[in-house]
Chains A and B, each alone.
Chain A
Amino acid sequence: DTGVSQDPRHKITKRGQNVTFRCDPISEHNRLYWYRQTLGQGPEFLTYFQNEAQLEKSRLLSDRFSAERPKGSFSTLEIQRTEQGDSAMYLCASSTTGTNERQYFGPGTRLTVT
């Protein structure tokens, strides 16, 4: 069990640029979640996948955000035409689908939009 990994850990970009983040879940986990955390707040749910199917998407996720999990393993989160309000920590978590599932969180990708 190597844990959930995220890449990059930090990203600084200029407003209007596109960015893509990657999440590698724990290998046997078929559920993968994306959350966003801004300073002074708890994580907010963005979307989650079961295998390659995107099962739920938050209304927080505007049309500029898209997430994929093409082979049911790693996932990518892309933000197009970044805005300063997108600056946040983007957290990925994974879990199994058992009744007693718990989510394992990665270290996050900190995005700064200048």
Chain B
Amino acid sequence: AQSVTQLDSQVPVFEEAPVELRCNYSSSVSVYLFWYVQYPNQGLQLLLKYLSGSTLVKGINGFEAEFNKSQTSFHLRKPSVHISDTAEYFCAVRNTNAGKSTFGDGTTLTVKP
């Protein structure tokens, strides 16, 4: 069984400040790791993914995440946020041999002017 814990349900931050959204996971097998963003009334959009190789992955909109196997974490970061980054962010894991993804409960990022 797999599980994902997003440690912060809400993260308020001022525009142009850095942000980190934290994600820890639990799995007994190898996994792929993902971050998705969901804007109001829209579907999930992939921000970035870790499949293998370099533990630092870069995604769209200036986001990046670092896979830490020993700490079973996959935290999402952005050095300078914009108002338009206000959205719900989901961390997800998937068994490398399975189809389904397991999602965290989400972190609401609110960027204030």
Can you name 12 A-B residue pairings with CB atoms under 8 Å? A33-B101, A40-B106, A42-B103, A43-B101, A45-B101, A48-B99, A48-B100, A56-B98, A99-B51, A102-B49, A107-B41, A107-B42
Check if A44 sits within 8 Å of B103, measured CB to CB: yes
A50 at the interface (CB under 8 A from B): yes
Q: From the candidates A33, A42, A55, A107, name the one contacting B43 in the complex (CB within 8 A).
A: A107
Number of interface residues of A (CB under 8 A): 27
Decide if B104 touches A106 in the complex (CB within 8 Å). Answer: no
- Range class of the B interface residue count: 20 to 34
Quick check: A55 and B99 within 8 Å, CB to CB? yes
- A84 in the interface, Cβ–Cβ < 8 Å? no
- What are the 7 tightest A-B residue pairs by CB atom distance, in nearest-first order? A42-B103, A105-B44, A45-B100, A105-B43, A107-B43, A48-B99, A43-B103
> Interface residues, chain B, CB within 8 Å of chain A?
4, 34, 36, 41-46, 49, 51, 90, 92, 96, 98-106
Instruction: List the B side residues contacting A50 at CB < 8 Å.
Output: 99
A residues lining the B interface (CB < 8 Å): 4, 31, 33, 35, 40-45, 48, 50, 55-56, 58, 91, 93, 95, 99-100, 102-108
The residues of B that contact A103 with a CB separation of less than 8 Å are 46, 101
Beyond the given pairs A42-B106, A56-B98, A58-B100, 17 more chain A to chain B contacts, judged by CB atoms under 8 angstroms and listed by A's residue number, are A31-B99, A33-B101, A40-B106, A42-B4, A42-B92, A44-B103, A45-B100, A50-B99, A55-B99, A56-B99, A56-B100, A91-B43, A102-B34, A104-B46, A105-B36, A107-B41, A107-B43
Are B44 and A33 interface neighbours, CB within 8 A? no
CB distance from A35 to the nearest CB of B (A): 8
